[in-house]
Amino acid sequence: MLSKNEEKLAEVRVKTIAVLEDLTIFQKLVLQALEACDPNSYEQAGIPLHAINEKVEAIDNLILNIFALYSPEAKDLREMVAFLKITSSLQRIAINEKNYIKNMEICRPDMELEFKKVIKESLYINRCAIKALEYTIEMIKQTEDKDKLIDLANKIDVENSKTDDIYTMIEKEVLQSMHQEGGVNEEMMNLLKYIRKNAKILDRLEDISSRLLFARIGGKL
């Protein structure tokens, strides 16, 4: 039978997973919308983000209540501290994604082919983000097997590295094209900025995975 402390900690995990699932749904809807370059899908894609701030605040309040009422110690305390930091990362991810979908509404059927090509190439980043989000959810669920935790953290690192490579390749192609044309395309530079915002969530997920390793295995944050 679980202690009250363990019950509340399990509730924190469940609520955190729910936020990550919302972010995953968002990424999948955005991927579909941008693959089709469908303006009618952008508003629907943003729906999973609407309640994230309230959900994150609820997690923080739950953790503070656990501190106040149950005085967790040792491993439980370490996990509570880690989740307080994780919720901060989740909020930053949600902010990035709200800005991303708002700015990516430029993707429309009548836009220039050069822009469509860059957006299509950038969608590999979205696919990496979906995988990394799913690995993060599995990390939260995995509370005992240390080897499995480390394996999932390594997989998130791989997706982040792939994302950096994809963005670097896209940026290089865009800058070379501008150099050949002899000028700076401000709209294209803005598009790169939007794509980079989306790519940044992999850094946040990598940070979350390191905090989960700290929570379950120990070491330095």
Q: Give the start-to-end residue ranges of the domains of the chain.
A: 4-217
Name the stretches of the chain with pLDDT < 70.
1-2, 219-221
* pLDDT given for residue 1 in this prediction: 55
* pLDDT given for residue 219 in this prediction: 55
Distance CA 144, CA 37 (A): 43
Q: Nearest CA to 163 among 206, 202, 194, 193?
A: 202
Tokens describing residue 28: 């999948």
What would be the CATH architecture of the domain defined by 4-217? Up-down Bundle (1.20)
Distance CA 67, CA 97 (A): 31
Tokens describing residue 210: 């390191």
* pLDDT given for residue 221 in this prediction: 46
Dihedral angle of Cα 126, 131, 136, 142, to the nearest 10 degrees: 170
The answer to whether 12 and 83 have CB atoms below 8 angstroms apart is yes
